[in-house]
Every structure is written in structure tokens, then in C-alpha cells.
Chain A
Amino acid sequence: MKKLTKYIFPIVFLAFIGISYLLNFASGEQIGGNFWLFFKEMILFLPLMFILIGLFDVWIPREKIEKHIGEDSGWKGTLLVILLASLQAGPLYGAFPFAYILWKKGCNIRNIFIYLGAFSTIKIPMITFEIGFLGLKFSLLRTLITLPVFIIIGYIMEWYLKDKNFEVKQP
């Protein structure tokens, strides 16, 4: 029963979409179409990513990760998380589970948020796409300006969360 109540909103939403299709309610049909578009993108991508994260969890020892991107990792650790993030693909919500596993393996607060910043703004597969549509000059300039900005955000978040028992929770 408790499991079902967690799904109450999605069920209501899907019921609304279903009824819209039955009654040919155009707005509802359009929202349904949008939902399907985004749902397809997620349902293929996320389970695979979570499986990889699960495997990462059981195979990679904490000490290894902590040494490279943990408390005393310095700028090399920062460089490493940026590199890691820039090679990935997918929407921002795909980065949260990965941030969780990095945190669990000892990544420090600053690098967690730098990772999120890099993941969202400078993924290489996406930049190639950006260059195609908006040109090399704009894309490079945007990337170069954004880079120091989200590193600063990492420092701000670290400074703010340092004494606040911050943790990334397992969903």
C-alpha cells in the first residue's frame, strides 16, 4: 500500500492523459506527447546508468577515489572531476546519482559541485553539437567563461556547507 501511495501523482497524471485521449482533449494529448518524448529519453538511459553506478560501488574501493578527488586532492582532483564530467553525456538529473556515488567514495564537497557544474555545462559530446548550431567562437567563449564560474561555485558551496553535516543521500 505504501508503495502505491508513492505513485499517486504519476497515476493521477497518467489517468488525466488517458482521459484526454479518450475525449480528444487536445491540450491533454499534447502534454501526453511531450511526456512520452521525455519518458523515452529517460527510461532507456537511467536504468543502465544506475547499473553502472551499482557496479562501480561494489568494485571500486573508497581509498582509491578518496586519494584522487578527496579532501586533500587539491587542483589535480578538481581537474580529474572536470575531465570525468566532460566525457559523459545525458541530462542534469543523470549527474545526481553519479554525484552520490562519488560522495560515497570520498569525494570532497567542492569537487561534487564542480562535477555537477562541469557535467551540466561542458560535456564534450554536447559542445560539438553546440558548435554546429551556434558556431565555434561562441561555444568556446562560453565554455571558457563558464569553467572558472562553476569552480567558484564549488568553493562557495564548500564554504557554505562545511560545518553543516552535508551529505549526498542514497535515493
Chain B
Amino acid sequence: MLVLSVITGVCIIVSFLFDSKKTIKGVKKGLTMFLNLLPTLLLMLALVSIVFYLVPNETMIKYMGKDSGVAGWLIAASLGSLSLIPGFIAFPLCSILLKSGVGYPTIAVFITTLMMVGIVTLPVEAKFFGWKTSIIRNAVSFVAALLIGIIMMLLL
């Protein structure tokens, strides 16, 4: 976070020294895009916080449990698609899952959907790509996550 702030600050200053008009135009443009997106972002964050409340970590551990096989995978993939957990929470959670007996392939499926598939982020994605393309990208990624699990299982 600090790194990003410093980078942004330096970029603005250097850019301003070269061309103040261009800089103002660029910053304005960036902030306008942000403000246009803000209502959708707030909607997304509201959805995330509700999902996070409805499906707490304990529930995830319970459902993924030791049940590997197709059901376990589908549960892992669905939970991963539904939630949007930042890495600093996701990886510790996965390490707990591992210790509670969940297999590596299931973890791989869970992580991949967590990262690539986002149902709660769909409204934001659709603002950029349109609904149809966004849904297709997420669906393809969902299948890909299962595929990654299968390869993982064959290799481990």
C-alpha cells in the first residue's frame, strides 16, 4: 500500500514537471472513472460482506472437510467462486484446511476459483466487459479450476 502511494506520488510529480495540463487531465480522468464505478463497487462490497457473514471460515472447513471426490470438489469450487477473500486471509485459511484433512487438489480447486471466479464481483466486471462476456469468462474459469484440480491429483 505504501509502495503504491509512493509510486503514484512520484508519477504525479514527475508528470506535472513535464506537462501540468496533461497531468491534470490524466488525474481527472482516473478519478472520474473511479467515481463512476464507485456505486457498483459499494454494491459489490456490500454483497461480499453479506456472503462473508453467511459463510464464515468454520462453515467452509466443515463442508470441505475430509470429503474429497466429486462432491468435495464441487463444494470447494462453489465456495471459492462465491467468496472474494483477500490473499492474507485465504492462504492461512487454506493452511487450516490442509491440516484438517482436505487434500491438495481440493485446495488447488478452491484457490483457483477464489482467484479467477468472482460471482460477487460480476457487477463490477460487467461494467467493463458486459454481462455476457463476464459470465462466460467466469464459467470457463470455473471449469479450468476443476481441470487444474484433476492435473494436480494426477501429478501428486
A binding-site residues for B, Cβ under 8 Å: 6-7, 9-10, 13, 27, 30-35, 37-39, 41-42, 44-59, 89, 91-93, 96-97, 99-100, 113, 116-117, 120-121, 126, 129-130, 132-134, 138, 141-142, 145-146, 149-150, 152-153, 156-157, 160-161, 166, 168-171
Q: Please, how many angstroms separate the alpha-carbon atoms of A160 and B136 in the complex? A: 10
Q: Is the CB of B151 within 8 A of A145?
A: yes
Q: Please, how many angstroms separate the alpha-carbon atoms of A111 and B147 in the complex? A: 21
Q: Is the CB of B8 within 8 A of A121?
A: no
Q: Is the CB of A129 within 8 A of B91?
A: yes
User: A130's closest neighbor in chain B, by CB?
Assistant: B91
B binding-site residues for A, Cβ under 8 Å: 1, 4-5, 7-8, 11-12, 15, 22-23, 25-31, 33-34, 36-37, 39-46, 48-50, 52-53, 84, 86-88, 91-92, 94-95, 98, 104, 107-108, 111-112, 115-116, 118, 121, 124-125, 127-130, 133, 136-137, 140-141, 144, 147-148, 151-152, 155-156
- Expressed in whole angstroms, the minimum distance between the Cβ of B117 and any Cβ of chain A is 9
- Expressed in whole angstroms, the minimum distance between the Cβ of B156 and any Cβ of chain A is 7
Q: Please, how many angstroms separate the alpha-carbon atoms of A41 and B125 in the complex? A: 18
Q: Is the CB of A52 within 8 A of B8?
A: yes
- Expressed in whole angstroms, the minimum distance between the Cβ of B101 and any Cβ of chain A is 15
- Expressed in whole angstroms, the minimum distance between the Cβ of B121 and any Cβ of chain A is 5
- Expressed in whole angstroms, the minimum distance between the Cβ of B145 and any Cβ of chain A is 9
Q: Is the CB of B37 within 8 A of A138?
A: no
Instruction: Report B-chain residues with C-beta under 8 Å of the C-beta of A171.
Output: 33, 36-37, 40, 127-128
Q: Please, how many angstroms separate the alpha-carbon atoms of A56 and B36 in the complex? A: 19
The 3 closest A-B pairs by CB, nearest first: A54-B30, A34-B49, A10-B42
Partner of B116, one of A33, A39, A120: A120
With A6-B39, A52-B7, A59-B22 known to touch, is A149 a contact of B94 (CB < 8 Å)? no
Partner of A141, one of B12, B95, B136, B155: B155
Q: Is the CB of B116 within 8 A of A134?
A: no
Interface-central residue, A35, A51, A53, A120, by most chain B CB under 10 Å: A51
Interface-central residue, B50, B92, B98, B141, by most chain A CB under 10 Å: B141
Instruction: Report B-chain residues with C-beta under 8 Å of the C-beta of A166.
Output: 133
Q: Is the CB of B116 within 8 A of A9?
A: no
With A51-B12, A116-B137 known to touch, is A146 a contact of B31 (CB < 8 Å)? no
With A129-B88, A145-B152 known to touch, is A54 a contact of B53 (CB < 8 Å)? no
Instruction: Report B-chain residues with C-beta under 8 Å of the C-beta of A121.
Output: 112, 115-116
Interface-central residue, B33, B52, B111, by most chain A CB under 10 Å: B33
Instruction: Report A-chain residues with C-beta under 8 Å of the C-beta of B107.
Output: 134, 138
